[in-house]
Structures are given as structure tokens and as C-alpha cells.
A and B are shown apart, each in its own frame.
Chain A
Amino acid sequence: MINKFSWGDGINYIVLGLVSIVCFLPIFYVLSISFTDPSVFMPLEFKLFPEKLSLASYYYIISTSSFRSALTNSVMVSIAGTMLNVFVTFTGAYALSKSTLPGYKVILSLITFTLVFSAGMVPSYMLVKGLHLINSYWAIILPVVTNAWSFLVVRSFMVAIPSEIEEAAKIDGCNDITLFARIIIPLSMPAIATFTLFFAVDYWNAFFNTMLYITNTKMWTLPLLIKSMIIDSSATSGFAAAGIVSDRQNVPQETVKMAAIILSMLPIVILYPFLQKYFVKGVMIGAVKG
């Protein structure tokens, strides 16, 4: 092994360092503005570091009821949706991992088919509408309660579980359901952890289905609030739609928007360092499979 630090190494380290900074810089900028004291904030001035720090923008955004309700809604939908997703995906994946199941090949190929062909947006929309799920949280959860990719990855994980354990349990008199609950689930904890995270992140960030099916602004989730505040408007119209009245003198719009973004990123930022290895493993499992 070469131990000395060569020119090539140096360039490599510098380039990677620059890449990291570029990845991080936009977030840092938002962070910095969100903590800027409103009294020193000049809308047209560019400052990377705030002159004076303050939490005023954060206090303000948390005090608005629309932010609080969007936050609660997001949390509720994410938790409920994730649990349901894990349940549906893992039960189905286990059942279809048993090659002795009659018809499993047909079912598996049908599911794989949905991976490559979908009916499209309009028919799905009409289905949800026809099921009278508009303006109900089920409209955000049910259409994505599982998906072919997750299903197939979990299934290949289940297939890898050695059958000796199951045979031993069967001899002891377990039926399939007890076997699943008492043995398979504990064995699948790594996969459950990984997919809980994948599903949770997807639900937390989900925006299109919510925008499509939920017209009641009180039921909005965080992404829609953010979208309305920041993207739907360069003027105040978006703010008004979001139910946030901005008091221009005390708390400028810009710092409030930044604070909102930081808050909506917060759960992910907090959990991310601890969970990174699970996510990476999940991708590896998926890569090995397909």
C-alpha cells in the first residue's frame, strides 16, 4: 500500500470537498437567513452570515395555526401510512416467497408487470374519485400502500430466510400465521427497519397525491404548505392561501419562509445520521436483486 499523500490525492480531496460544500451551501444559506434577526434583515442584500441571530422567524411560523396543523397532519399521515405500508408489504411478500403456493408465479409476474407499465394519472385519479376518497387521508395512503419494487425486494429478502427454521416451527405445530408473526417478523427486523425509513421519508415528502386529492386547506400536509408559501407566489398571494398573514414590519416574509423550510427538513436532518446505514443497505439489497 502506498502511504504517501500524492498530488492526485490532494486534488481528489479538494474536489470532493468542493462537491460537499456545493451540496451543503444552499441549505447553509437557508439556515443562516432563517436565524437572522428581523431587525437587521435587508431584503435585497446578500449576506452569508447573519449580523444578529434570533429565533423570531421560528417563533412566528410555529405560532401560525396553519403551520401547526400542517405539521400535525404530516406526522399523522406519515406514521399511519408507514405502519400500513410495512404491514401490507411484508405480509404479501412473505406469502409470495413460498414457492409451494399454488399460482404464485402468475401473481408474481402480474405484480412485476405493474413495475413496468402503469395505467397513468387520469385513470388512477378517476378511481380514487370513484371510491369517494377525495378529501380523505386514505386517498394519500391507499394508492401507495405498497409498490412493486418494495414488494419484490422484501420478497427476495424473505426467500433468503432459511427454511429449516420454518420447518422446525411447523413440526412444533405452528400454522402459517403464527409462524409469520412469531418467527419471520423478528428475523426480518433489518428489512423492516430499512423499509420503515424508506416509506416514512416518502410519506413525509409526498406532495403530488396530496395536492391532487385534498382540496381542504385545513387538511394540508407540510409540503403543500411550503409549496404554497414559496412556490405558488412571488407575491403575498401564496402566503394568504396558506393562511399565514405576514406582519411585514416585524417579521419579513423571507426569513419566515426560510424558517419554514428548515423546520420541514428537521425530522429528516435529525434522524439522518443515525439511519444512513440502513438506507444504504436497502439500496444494496435492491441493487443485488435487480
Chain B
Amino acid sequence: MCSLNQIIGLKGKEKNSIVSLNRKNNNTWAEIKKHKYLYLLATPTLIYFIIFKFGPMWGLLMAFQDYNPFKGLLHSPWIGFKLFEEMFKDPFFFYMLRNTVVIAMLKLFFYFPIPIFLAIMLNEVRHNTYRKLVQTVVYFPHFLSWVITASLTFFALSANMGFINKIRVGAGLEQILFLVNPDYFWPIVLIQSIWKESGWGTIIFMAALVSIDLQLYEAALIDGATRLQRIWYVTLPGLLPTIVVLLILRLGQVFDVGFEQILLMQNPMIRDVAEIFDTYSYNQGILQGQYSLGVAVGFFKSCIGLFFLVTSNFLVKKSGNEGIF
């Protein structure tokens, strides 16, 4: 076989140096060319991620500039962290932080356990048809848009048209203005989420429940455990790994509290309790044209989210489970 070495006439140790350099280049290029069709197939995806996911990241620089749309990204004056300083000093920022945290906590404590209970209850149902029927009904709200969910909420709670107020009027009571009263906003958002997503959330737990060893149940039965005891000592521990992983993953998305949902339910009278980071980014950043501020708020939120996610992933791994990375 005619090799490069023979042509050049290199001997011994020298043989490896140049040839291996060449071989590495040749190999990589050869590999790339060999897979050229695969790269072709990957092109749409790659173009998408480069343009629409990584492209906007340059825009994050706007958070450090006094962005002027006419001067553009390259020529707007740089102001460093001043915008962030202003942000932290603005009292409204803490309303936003509070609202986001409160809604996140409410959802965590009240929404999160519900699919677990539902899944356990569904698992205990012995008639397959009844269980499938209930599952079909509770999964369904997941497929409705937030626009429809918000509309249904309006149909229930609004003044004059909402059926709750209709019932009250029929009974001679005063109407309650649910939708413009700040005290009701958080519970309303919570109940909306529960109605819409609990059913769908049972899917993962049902899958985990099915994988619990039946022999454990039989052993518990032999030991004389009642149904509740079986649930407490066999089912729940069996679900624990899944619960832990889901809980921690959820903590990683802590500040994603439901942008579309909240945007639809916002109105000027409840702004104090209803503004979260994303809606502020939208209202101030896009609607009011304060681009730098919108970017700064969004950047802050993304960074916190990333921090929580990395921490959560670390905790998951520490607890012996598999993390995301």
C-alpha cells in the first residue's frame, strides 16, 4: 500500500508526526464528508436553533445598554449594571418578586400534591371502564387553551354574566366582583391551574404506580394491612423517587408561573398582585418600548431559573437519583 510516509521518505519517529497531523485532518474532513447527508438533514434544526434560540441571546446585551432603537445594538450607550441597580431599587420590583414567589409557592403546595392523590385513587379503582372514563374526563382540560380556560373563568366569576353571581342574585345576595378584587386573584389562578392540569399530571404517576412490585402489596395483605395502610406503606414509598425527581425539576422552573394564564387574567385594578416578571417584561418591555428594562427583567428571571435548575439537579444527584445532566 502506498502511504504518505513512503512518498515523503520519513522514517521512525518522524513518521508519526506529520502523518498523524495529516491523518487527523483527513479523518475529520473525511468523516464530515461521509456524513454530509446527515448534516443536510440536520440543517433545518441547526438553522432554527442558531437563529431563533442563540440569535436573541445577543439581545441580552441590551440589558447593559441604554438601548435606543434608532442606534441599534452596536451604537447604543453602555451603562453597565445601572439598569439592574435601578430595578432592585424600584419598589414595584419587589411586588413582582413577591407575586411570582407567592404564586409559585401556592402552586407547589396546593397544585403539586393533587395529581399524586388522583393517581393513587385512580390506581385503586378496579373497574377498568370507570377508571378510563374518569381519566378521559380529567385529561381533557389540558388540551384547552388558556384563552378558553380564562373565558370559562369569566363565565363563572364575572359580574352579571358569571353563573356564580347569577346564583347569588337569584338568591337575593349581592354580587361579588371576583375578577377585579385583588384578594381573589391568587386563589383564582391556583384553581384554574388545578382544574386544567391535575388530570394530565396523573399520567407520570400512573406510570410509576404500575411499576410498583405487586408482591409488596401481597406481603402487606398477608400481614393484615388495611387499604389505607397499604397505600401509606407500599404505594407512597414506591412513588417517592418519581415525586422527588418531579419536585426538584419543578423547583428548577420556579419562576415560570404561567405567563399566558396570568396575562389573560390581568387587569389594571389588580396589577399589584398580578404582575410577574414575564408580564412586566411584556408590558414594559414590548408594549411600552422600554426595551432595555424588559430585557433586564427577563435576563434576571432566566438567570435565577438557571441557578435553581443547576442547584436542583445537584440535589437530585446528591440524593442518589439521576439528574438531567
Q: Which residues of A contact B (CB under 8 A)?
A: 6, 8-9, 12-13, 15-17, 19-20, 22-24, 26-27, 29-30, 43-46, 87-89, 91-96, 98, 100-102, 107, 110-112, 114, 116-127, 142-143, 145-146, 151, 175-177, 180, 201, 204-208, 212, 223-224, 226-227, 230-231, 234, 254, 257-258, 261, 264-265, 268, 272-273, 276, 279-280, 283-284, 287, 290
The reply to whether B286 and A122 contact each other, CB–CB distance below 8 Å, is: yes
The stretch of B8-16, B56-64, B78-86, B93-101 in contact with A is: B56-64
How far apart are the CA atoms of A192 and B200 in the complex, in Å? 21
The reply to whether B281 and A123 contact each other, CB–CB distance below 8 Å, is: no
In the complex, the 5 A-B pairs of residues with the closest C-beta atoms, listed nearest first: A92-B45, A123-B59, A120-B298, A205-B145, A176-B37
Q: Which residue of the partner chain B has the closest CB to A155?
A: B45
The reply to whether B252 and A284 contact each other, CB–CB distance below 8 Å, is: no
Q: List chain B residues, Cβ under 8 A from A125.
A: 285-286
Known contacts A101-B42, A145-B48; 5 additional CB pairs below 8 A are A94-B41, A107-B46, A119-B53, A122-B295, A146-B45
The reply to whether A283 and B203 contact each other, CB–CB distance below 8 Å, is: yes
The reply to whether A98 and B195 contact each other, CB–CB distance below 8 Å, is: no
The stretch of B161-169, B181-189, B233-241 in contact with A is: B161-169
Chain B facing A: main interface SS:
helix
The reply to whether A12 and B124 contact each other, CB–CB distance below 8 Å, is: yes
Neighbour of B143 across the interface among A118, A145, A201, A283, CB < 8 A: A201
The reply to whether A290 and B324 contact each other, CB–CB distance below 8 Å, is: yes
Number of A-B contacts (CB under 8 A): 257
The reply to whether B56 and A92 contact each other, CB–CB distance below 8 Å, is: no
The reply to whether B42 and A122 contact each other, CB–CB distance below 8 Å, is: no
Q: Which residues of B contact A (CB under 8 A)?
A: 28, 31-32, 35, 37-42, 44-46, 48-49, 51-60, 62, 118, 121-122, 124-126, 130, 133-134, 136-141, 143-148, 150-152, 154-156, 158-161, 163, 166-167, 169-170, 195, 199-200, 203-204, 207, 227-228, 252, 259-260, 263-264, 278, 281-282, 285-286, 291, 294-295, 298-299, 301-302, 305-306, 309, 324-325
User: Which of A19, A96, A126, A254 has the largest count of B CB atoms less than 10 A from its CB?
Assistant: A126
Given known pairs A116-B305, A121-B286, the reply for A26 and B155 (CB within 8 Å) is yes
Given known pairs A16-B125, A44-B166, A100-B35, the reply for A122 and B291 (CB within 8 Å) is yes
Given known pairs A125-B286, A230-B154, A287-B204, the reply for A111 and B49 (CB within 8 Å) is yes
| Pairs across A and B, CB under 8 Å, 28 listed | A6-B227, A8-B227, A22-B195, A30-B155, A43-B161, A46-B170, A88-B44, A91-B41, A95-B39, A101-B39, A102-B32, A107-B42, A110-B54, A117-B306, A119-B57, A123-B56, A126-B59, A145-B52, A176-B38, A223-B148, A224-B147, A258-B155, A261-B148, A265-B144, A272-B136, A283-B200, A283-B204, A284-B207
